[in-house]
Amino acid sequence: AVYTLRSSVVRVVRVSLDLLRARRLTASLPGPSLFQDGLIPRGGGGAYASMTALCGAMAKQGSVFRVCVGPMTLVRLAAKSVVYSALEPLLGRGLATLHGAAWRRHRKAITPSLHLDILRDFVPAFHRHAVGLADALLRHDGCVLDVVPLCGHCANSAIMETVMSTDVPDGDEGLREFLGAIPKAQRAFMLRSGKPWLLIDRVFAFHKRFPEYARAKAALDGFTSRIIRAKKQALANKASRARRRMAFLDHLLQSEEGASLDDLEIAEEVKTLVSIGSSSSMETLSLIILTLAIRQDVQQKLWQPYSHNEFAVFPFGPPLFLNGPPCVVPQEVVDVLGEDVSRPLTPDDMPHLQYTECVVKEVLRYYSVVPLFGRRVREDVVLPSGTLVPRGCQLMFWLPHVHRSAELFERPDDFDPDRFLPETSRGRHPFAFVPFSAGPRNCVGQRYAIMFLKAAVAALAPRVRFEVPDDGPRCTQDVPLNLNLTTNVRGGVKVRVCRRGPSF
Ligand code: HEM
């Protein structure tokens, strides 16, 4: 006990000295205190929301600035920024919160089970859930509705099937509670990240939101353990192993790398993937739908039935177009699906959905779906501009500043998927587009996310047409954004949904 106490005191002293030194050495940088008036958004939202508001405000002043977050800088819990530690009480110690050797061991175990060859097998499931989304939307044919909850259901169901492959019926109580627990988990994160003292479970136990948190945690833990137990039993049974398509968890449990994780560690990784993956995919899909509604030209490039282009050719004179002028755009989804537009997408279709991928990437650039991520600086770093970033600082990357930079992108405030075509992206700085962060701690699910979003857009395009309601934003610049843990649209994503052509 004496040894532990002594080493804790040494650590606290060392961290405090680093923080004081960092403050002194960065004194010449511009930047206010986080607690300055007006920077903490009314209605709460936690430190994360404050930090995003602050970064947004400060980014206008220059690319490097300093933020003094008062007592928060004293909390030094992880190699990633301290903000992430707020996730730990709920998701446990998964990839998003671990650091050092433990993080490396987990990352090594997880990565092979998200390999492209494995993701290809998920395409039919992505397609099926996106068709389910189209059907659910078309129950409101001609009406205006907020598409976020339905996008959330689609992203959740797709991720549950491909990460866990539950075989659990839709109405299952545990599954229902698990899905309901994800947004509650996020609310608890926002609350606790804003009030570090609430990270101590014994203190949080007295908070009025504790019962909701405890129920969400129990639902996440209970359901995940139940699935892992069932999987392990099924693995012992060779017949059921051969029966169906494998999910991420099946691969992990059977892989050599996965054997390095125990049951609790696997459960925490599964919770991490499902929670992080479903919310970011839901927000991105909703933003794609809103953007398609605003930009009918982009929607047409994805899908314009051939019949609109039919023209009659007369022996003399120019062709007479029966349905308006010819459509000279690629109509990508039509081309890829061929004559049978109702057929399910296959893994081999995916590389051909080039323009669809450009749309997904441009949405990720334009809205920076995860706008802020942070790192603790372990050694003094001198930036190319000569600015010293001392060790001990929490470095926050404000992505909209990069993604909307006129130095990196031409007309950065225009939404233009063509900028991601191979010929136009040539020569771009490798870190100009980093929606999934970069380096060893980048997003482990980035290929999963792109594959899911492409499949979803390609399944929606032939079935549903989106329009902006009369009181909706006329252009992408007018979309009212909430930049938070993920970017979302203030007031929800309200669009008019219309059936496209015959029903399949
Ligand atoms: C459009 C969707 C997504 C976006 C924009 C996104 C973005 C990001 C970003 C920026 C990070 C790095 C955060 C940091 O540097 O601190 C990250 C990490 C992570 N993401 Fe994603 N993500 C998306 C989808 C997914 C999906 C679908 C999954 C799971 C299947 C996932 C799982 C994770 C995990 C586990 C980490 C932590 C990785 C580590 O620290 O080793 N993400 N994501």
Residue (of 266, 286, 220, 333) closest to 95 by Cα position: 266
Is the C-beta atom of 119 inside 6 A of ligand 1?
A: no
Q: Each residue's pLDDT tens digit in the chain (504 positions)? A: 677 778 778 877 877 777 777 777 666 666 555 444 333 334 444 445 555 555 565 555 555 666 555 433 322 223 455 556 666 766 778 888 788 888 899 999 889 888 888 899 999 999 999 999 999 999 999 999 999 999 998 998 898 889 887 666 667 788 788 878 877 877 777 777 667 677 777 888 888 888 888 888 888 888 888 888 887 887 777 655 555 567 888 888 888 887 888 888 888 888 888 888 888 999 999 999 999 999 999 998 887 654 444 444 444 444 444 444 444 344 677 777 776 777 889 999 999 899 999 999 999 999 999 988 877 778 887 877 777 778 877 777 888 888 998 889 999 999 999 999 988 988 898 889 999 998 888 999 999 999 999 999 999 998 999 999 999 999 999 999 887 778 889 889 999 999 986 544
CA of 115 to the centre of ligand 1 (A): 15
Q: Which amino acid belongs to residue 154? A: C
CA of 264 to the centre of ligand 1 (A): 21
68 assigned to a ligand binding site: no
Is the C-beta atom of 436 inside 6 A of ligand 1?
A: yes
Burial class of residue 319, CB neighbours in 10 A (0-12, 13-18, 19+): exposed
Joined together, the tokens standing for residue 402 give 């990069």
User: Of all protein residues, whose CA lies closest to atom 13 belonging to ligand 1?
Assistant: 373
Atom of ligand 1 nearest to the CA of 442: 12
Is the C-beta atom of 361 inside 6 A of ligand 1?
A: no
Is the C-beta atom of 19 inside 6 A of ligand 1?
A: no
**In whole angstroms, what is the distance from residue 162 CA to residue 452 CA?**
10
Q: Which residues contact 110 (CB under 8 A, 6 or more apart)?
A: 95, 252, 257, 269, 273, 444
pTM: 0.81
CA of 19 to the centre of ligand 1 (A): 28
Atom of ligand 1 nearest to the CA of 375: 16
What b-and-e string marks burial along 232-263, b requiring 16 or more CB atoms within 10 Å of the CB? eebeeeeeeeeeeebbbbbbbbeeebbeebee
Q: Are the beta carbons of 205 and 192 closer than 8 angstroms? A: no
**In whole angstroms, what is the distance from residue 278 CA to residue 272 CA?**
10
Tell me what ipTM this predicted complex has: 0.98
Mutation test residue for ligand 1: of 443, 451, 487, the one with most atoms within 8 Å of CB: 443
Q: Are the beta carbons of 466 and 495 closer than 8 angstroms? A: yes
Q: If you compute the radius of gyration of the chain from its CA atoms, what whole number of angstroms results? A: 24
CA of 113 to the centre of ligand 1 (A): 15
CA of 328 to the centre of ligand 1 (A): 37
CA of 443 to the centre of ligand 1 (A): 4
Is the C-beta atom of 255 inside 6 A of ligand 1?
A: no
